Amino acid sequence: MSKIKGPGIYLAQFLRDHEPYDNLKNIGAWVASLGYKGVQIPTWDQRVIDLDKAAESKSYCEDLQASLEKTGLQVTELAAHLQGQVLAIHPAYETVFGAFYPDGLNDTARVEWATAELTKSVKASANMGLKAIPVLSGGLAWHMIYPWPQRPTGLIEMAFKELYRRWKPVLDAAKDEGITLAYELHPGSDIFDGATFEMFLDVSNNHPAACLNYDPSHFLLQQLDYCEFIQLYGDRITAFHVKDAEYQSSGRVGVYGGYQSWSKRAGRFRSLGDGQVDFTRIFTLLTEAGYAGWAVLEWECCVKGPEQGAAEGAPFIAKHIIEATEVAFDDFAGGKSNDELNKQILGLR
């Protein structure tokens, strides 16, 4: 069994245009002071990385990593969630996702742009010696999640074939570099649970670079067994967002949320330790599954502030990391063994 690395922190939700949250040096010093050992960097935010330079220049990547190492930090992963979501957008979502990509792009141009950005993320990750890139899959069929009106035969199969067609160049590039794309199974994307992940694996012929960013909060809000998920798909988990959530249905709202704000939904994201996720069980199952990547805080809470959430997150993760045993607890009671002794014990002559 391997030891999980951490604590790490995903920077996306903490970046601001004022100190100490305004650039990698400042925010790095801040999270290091809280006890974090690694940072997951959002590749679309130029306050913390120039993706073009990172893809083109290994020396730029080495300088970036060296600057973090001065404060005791490592880069855990380069995250490309937004570019992944943009790779496959139904026209109904073009306007609301407009902030994720340059103005004026039609679907063809948007796919080309997203493919290029994702490929840069692969090259930059290779330059930094990283092994996984957390992404969202995007969604062409998400608007058909509820089967009313009845879905035409072959519609979902067509959507997944097209989804894979768009992802294939990036998956192949990642495979060539020994890197995995860690899909975060997320509402709004066509890959959002175990069944849809299996559908993607089927159309991709089990592409070796198609892996998972495990985030139990999205599963709890779907009322999916997030522990059994690890037992089913643990060999494909290559990244881990440590994120808490709670689900409290009522006579008024349930899983779909009733178009309410986050604070009034039945399912809500919470700071670590304030929700219902059983992280003791999760860290045990991931350790048993051989996961040796980073445990990275993703903070999204509708009650507690980000500074408190970040401050509480590092010791919470550190407390849950398991020093995997290399010995059996009952070794002291064992003895030497051989075939003759075993035959004697079994009553075999």
- pLDDT at position 10 over 70: yes
List, for residues 252-307, the tens digit of each pLDDT value: 999 999 999 999 999 999 999 999 999 999 999 999 999 999 999 999 999 999 99
- Residue 336, pLDDT score: 80
Strands 237-242 and 132-135 come out as unpaired
Secondary structure, 3-state, the chain: CCCCEEEEEECHHHCCCCCCCCCHHHHHHHHHHCCCCEEEEECCCCCCCCHHHHHHCHHHHHHHHHHHHCCCCEEEEEECHHHHHHCCECHHHCCCCHHHCCCCCCHHHHHHHHHHHHHHHHHHHHHHCCCEEEECCCECCHHHCCCCCCCCCCHHHHHHHHHHHHHHHHHHHHHHCCCEEEEECCCCCCCCCHHHHHHHHHHCCCCCCEEEEECHHHHHHHCCCHHHHHHHHHHHEEEEEECEEEECCCCCCCCCHHHCCHHHCCEEEECCCCCCCCHHHHHHHHHHCCCCCEEEECCCCCCCCHHHHHHHHHHHHHHHCCCCCCCCCCHHHCCCCCHHHHHHHHCCC
Strands 74-79 and 38-42 come out as parallel
Taking the C-alpha atoms of residue 91 and residue 104, their distance in angstroms, rounded to an integer, is: 14
- Residue 199, pLDDT score: 98
Query: How much of the chain exceeds pLDDT 70, in percent?
Result: 100
Rg of the chain on CA atoms, in Å: 22
Mean pLDDT computed over every residue of the chain = 96
Instruction: Give the CA angle between residues 81, 83, 86 to the nearest 5°.
Output: 110
Taking the C-alpha atoms of residue 349 and residue 330, their distance in angstroms, rounded to an integer, is: 29
Closest CA to 264 of 241, 276, 246, 278: 246
Who's near 213: CB < 8 A, 6+ residues apart?
Answer: 132, 134, 135, 182, 183, 184, 237, 238, 239, 240, 241
Q: Report pTM.
A: 0.96
- pLDDT at position 329 over 80: no
Taking the C-alpha atoms of residue 211 and residue 197, their distance in angstroms, rounded to an integer, is: 9
Residue with the larger pLDDT of the pair 341 and 129: 129
- pLDDT at position 140 over 70: yes
- Residue 324, pLDDT score: 84
Query: How much of the chain exceeds pLDDT 90, in percent?
Result: 93
Residue with the larger pLDDT of the pair 286 and 328: 286
- pLDDT at position 137 over 80: yes
Where does the pLDDT of residue 4 fall: very low under 50, low under 70, confident under 90, or very high at 90 and above? very high
List, for residues 206-249, the tens digit of each pLDDT value: 999 999 999 999 999 999 999 999 999 999 999 999 999 999 99
Give Dmax over CA atoms of the chain in angstroms. 84
- Residue 1, pLDDT score: 64
Who's near 115: CB < 8 A, 6+ residues apart?
Answer: 87, 166, 169, 170
Strands 294-297 and 237-242 come out as parallel
Taking the C-alpha atoms of residue 108 and residue 16, their distance in angstroms, rounded to an integer, is: 32
- pLDDT at position 330 over 80: no
Mean pLDDT for the stretch of residues 309-330:
91
Task: Indicate if the alpha-carbon torsion angle 169, 172, 176, 182 is positive or negative.
Answer: positive
- Residue 97, pLDDT score: 96
Taking the C-alpha atoms of residue 239 and residue 110, their distance in angstroms, rounded to an integer, is: 27
- Domains of the chain in start order, with CATH, are 5-346 (3.20.20.150)
List, for residues 15-59, the tens digit of each pLDDT value: 999 999 999 999 999 999 999 999 999 999 999 999 999 999 999
- Residue 307, pLDDT score: 98
